[in-house]
Structure 1
């Protein structure tokens, strides 16, 4: 692998997005914010496996990307779910039914070790923050000065980007109704609420959307989801006063069934759905890394 000596820094960053069941890795050109298509690798990961198997899957993806791209890189950026010490690279994920085996591990050292590079070239960023940063740079938030964003999927992520700098808001942990926002604005809420209404299980949001033509309970769930999101976000959006709210994550694939209601509930805010898909997190993580490399 080719690593820059920092005297003549190339624009290429090895970047990765780690999810609950996969890793996607690629090379990002930070001069253009474009992902090198020939470098994209997506591998399934058993997040309930042992540490060696998890780290081994990540190693395979990163090395496959480097082999496919064959470029000199100046650093590595990883979009990672929390809880995680992003500065030190230590995982504190526990009690979330994923990645239990790497709890307390120094992932920075592990990646630096199997790629045989200095640890200071390995950087981490919260996955929601990286996603919103990517969309703000070259996606649905491009052209707006102040961008608020949420990620809707197995969990509820949130971030805010202004003047090109994004920060994690961690709204998912905020108290809401009988628990926290994450419990109302994620896939498991759709499953739980539909079961409460019907006594029937539903596999995921996509499966629920498929029921809409003939199931009024499914429509009620989407309507309630929009109402909950608007209710929860109303106060923070007033405080942040963003130019746009960007919705990201897998649940937005069903946005046709809740976005019109959300816009009715929040008429004062421009709401856009993400444009970049998984590439947003890859771009956001790589830009974060490039900044750190340049300042090191």
Structure 2
């Protein structure tokens, strides 16, 4: 059964059909998303993207938290995205707008990691972790392909961003804003800092090494506790992996395509939950 999937970020929505036979992804549309508009306007944008998909079997949605993925209620506040959706039941309103019985939500970092376990860098690995790095950090710890959020072997809720490093929240050391803040020059984003590092800018290189070094140090105790044998990095910042691979003293690789993995993971979870 093919699965209709939306992958939602702070500034885009991707609509795709995922075929589980070979886990192929057909991206039907990738549109700009104005996430700071009123709830009804956000729902309208998402519904417009979803209507381009075959919805007879329902819809799977991968999106970032804070969000109640079971009930469909958004809890974004001071996130720079979806702030007007605080306390809003996106699930019920999206179902009503699209006249659907079933819309299933999944955390985007978990969707990414399940996608990588299903058809990517950590395919079939018994115990693995996926880390998405962009405006913030997302993580998912998987045992036999299933997300583990509870217990002493994973961070609170399975979310590494809730931990600290060097006496500060981890995202103060490794995130897009942290890296841009650490670089002394004005640049549009992390991609440009990585380009400068590849061109020989030693300060840019040192900034990236320090940021990913913090990630490596913060992640290592949990890798040991959970028994992780392979780690995969995703998110927009994972494109700098070639510059920072040396800071990791455990097996790690970068995804080929974060968005495609999240689409596959959401579809796999949707089918598993059917």
Q: Same fold (TM over 0.5)?
A: yes
Provide the residue aligned with 1:69 in structure 2. Answer: none
Note if contact 1:139-1:276 (Cα within 8 Å) is conserved in structure 2.
no
Q: Tell me whether 174-183 or 250-259 shows the greater mean CA deviation.
A: 174-183
With the length of structure 2 as denominator, give the TM-score of the two structures: 0.91
Provide the residue aligned with 2:126 in structure 1. Answer: 145
Provide the residue aligned with 1:21 in structure 2. Answer: 11
Which protein has the larger Cα radius of gyration, Structure 1 or Structure 2? 1
1-side partners of 2:229 and 2:181: how far apart? 33
Query: Once the 2 structures are TM-superposed, how far is the Cα of residue 142 of structure 1 from its aligned partner?
Result: 0.9
Query: Once the 2 structures are TM-superposed, how far is the Cα of residue 214 of structure 1 from its aligned partner?
Result: 4.0
Provide the residue aligned with 1:229 in structure 2. Answer: 215
- Paired residue for 2:226, among 240, 244, 247? 240
Note if contact 1:18-1:24 (Cα within 8 Å) is conserved in structure 2.
yes
Classify the secondary structure of the residue corresponding to 1:154.
coil
Query: Once the 2 structures are TM-superposed, how far is the Cα of residue 282 of structure 1 from its aligned partner?
Result: 0.8
With the length of structure 1 as denominator, give the TM-score of the two structures: 0.85
Classify the secondary structure of the residue corresponding to 2:84.
helix
Note if contact 2:111-2:261 (Cα within 8 Å) is conserved in structure 1.
yes
Q: Tell me whether 81-90 or 250-259 shows the greater mean CA deviation.
A: 250-259
Note if contact 2:131-2:139 (Cα within 8 Å) is conserved in structure 1.
yes
Q: Tell me whether 249-258 or 125-134 shows the greater mean CA deviation.
A: 249-258
Provide the residue aligned with 2:154 in structure 1. Answer: none
Provide the residue aligned with 2:74 in structure 1. Answer: 91
Note if contact 2:62-2:108 (Cα within 8 Å) is conserved in structure 1.
yes
1-side partners of 2:81 and 2:87: how far apart? 14
Query: Once the 2 structures are TM-superposed, how far is the Cα of residue 14 of structure 1 from its aligned partner?
Result: 1.2
- Paired residue for 1:78, among 61, 79, 92? 61
Provide the residue aligned with 1:251 in structure 2. Answer: 237
* Aligned CA-pair RMSD: 1.6
Structure 2 gaps, min length 5:
150-157
Classify the secondary structure of the residue corresponding to 2:70.
coil
Matches within 5 A, 1:162-241: 162-167=143-148, 169-194=158-183, 198=184, 200-212=185-197, 213-241=199-227
Provide the residue aligned with 1:12 in structure 2. Answer: 2
2-side partners of 1:262 and 1:63: how far apart? 44
Aligned length: 265
Greater than 3 Å deviation, 4+ residue runs: none
Query: Once the 2 structures are TM-superposed, how far is the Cα of residue 157 of structure 1 from its aligned partner?
Result: 0.6
1-side partners of 2:56 and 2:144: how far apart? 26
Classify the secondary structure of the residue corresponding to 1:290.
helix
